[in-house]
């Protein structure tokens, strides 16, 4: 199986890059040949502390897991390692002479939260290409074939986006609830298909444009691999026209070629 992967991201307009709380993985872009490919995007909830770090933990854990591991196992693994992450964070703050303040402690105790979308692409010898996806929240997968949208997952309507999406918490005591709310989908891919993984603001824009009879995938497909400046220019125009909500943006574009 050969795929070309392109990744684009931006913090919300007016915010420094340090406040970007989305995450995606793998970070390496370009062409690759592999029997299996896992990709993920996540959106850290801005109201929870260290949500960007938690989002990074989730996407890395999913993509680095073996094919035999389901998303429930991946989430459990990420949760089990969160305490170690917090210890390292505290030590880092102390090393910078910025120890945890009393008013930050409740946020650390409540834990971090993020949406998560993970997808796996395979093509067994002699078989058609397959993809499977798992989601919790409003980060979305779109599949386009022959200039038509054939899959939108897990949301299919821009009106479904709200201020309280389902989230993956860092606390292991909520694991059963997370597992119960996971949504799953699967399908086939063909050479020439386009797959787009997006966080919520970009996903809502995509579905709004598609519902209006336009072809949002052409804009996403028109940006050259690693051309972050072109992505930033496009986003600035859509934000200025109030067609795209001012939020962190993440797009992972996958082009299976064989």
pLDDT of residue 233: 95
Q: Check residue 116 and give its pLDDT.
A: 95
Rounded CA-CA distance 184/153 in Å is 9
- The answer to whether residue 67 scores a pLDDT higher than 70 is no
Q: Which pLDDT score, from 0 to 100, does residue 68 have?
A: 62
Q: Phi then psi for 236, rounded to 5 degrees?
A: -60, -40
Q: Residues 208-214: what's their mean pLDDT?
A: 95
Interatomic CA distance for residues 154 and 53, integer angstroms:
24
Position 48 pLDDT exceeds 90: no
Tokens matching residue 257: 């070629």
Predicted confidence (pLDDT) at residue 163 exceeds the cutoff of 80: no
Q: Which long-range contacts (CB under 8 A, 24 or more apart) does 91-96 make?
A: none
pLDDT tens digits, 95-134: 999 998 888 888 888 889 999 999 999 987 777 899 999 9
Residue 69: the pLDDT is: 65
Average pLDDT over residues 2-9: 93
| Domain layout of the chain by residue ranges | 2-256
Residue 86 pLDDT > 90: no
Question: E strands along 26-101, which residues?
Answer: 30-33, 36-44
pLDDT at 258: 78
Which of 150-154, 155-159, 199-203 is the least confident region? 155-159
Considering the chain, what is the average pLDDT of its residues?
Answer: 90
User: Quick check: 149 pLDDT over 90?
Assistant: yes
| 31 vs 4: CA distance, rounded Å | 4
Domain 2-256, CATH number (from 3.40.50.1860, 3.40.50.800, 2.40.110.10, 3.60.40.10) = 3.60.40.10
State the pLDDT confidence band at 232, using cuts at 50, 70 and 90: very high
**H or E element: which one contains 133?**
strand 129-136
pLDDT at residue 226, rounded to an integer: 76
């Amino acid at each position: 199986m050969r795929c070309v992967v392109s990744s684009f991201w931006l913090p919300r307009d007016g915010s420094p890059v340090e406040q970007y709380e989305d995450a995606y993985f793998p970070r390496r872009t370009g062409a690759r040949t592999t029997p299996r490919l896992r990709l993920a995007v996540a959106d850290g909830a801005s109201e929870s502390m260290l949500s960007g770090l938690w989002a990074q933990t989730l996407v890395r854990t999913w993509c680095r897991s073996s094919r035999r591991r389901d998303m429930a196992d991946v989430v459990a693994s990420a949760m089990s390692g969160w305490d170690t992450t917090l210890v390292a964070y505290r030590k880092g703050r102390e090393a910078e002479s910025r120890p945890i303040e009393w008013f930050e402690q409740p946020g650390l105790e409540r834990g971090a939260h993020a949406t998560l979308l993970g997808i796996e692409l395979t093509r067994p010898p002699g078989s058609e290409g397959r993809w499977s996806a798992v989601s919790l929240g409003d980060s979305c997968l779109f599949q386009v074939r022959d200039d038509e949208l054939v899959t939108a997952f897990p949301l299919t309507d821009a009106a479904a986006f709200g201020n309280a999406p389902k989230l993956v918490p860092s606390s292991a005591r909520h694991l059963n609830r997370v597992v119960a709310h996971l949504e799953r989908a699967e399908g086939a891919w063909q050479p020439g298909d386009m797959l787009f993984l997006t966080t919520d603001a970009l996903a809502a824009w995509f579905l709004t444009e598609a519902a209006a009879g336009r072809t949002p995938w052409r804009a996403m497909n028109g940006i050259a691999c690693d051309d972050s400046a072109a992505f930033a220019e496009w986003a600035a125009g859509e934000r200025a026209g109030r067609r795209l909500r001012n939020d962190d943006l993440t797009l992972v574009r996958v082009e299976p070629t064989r």
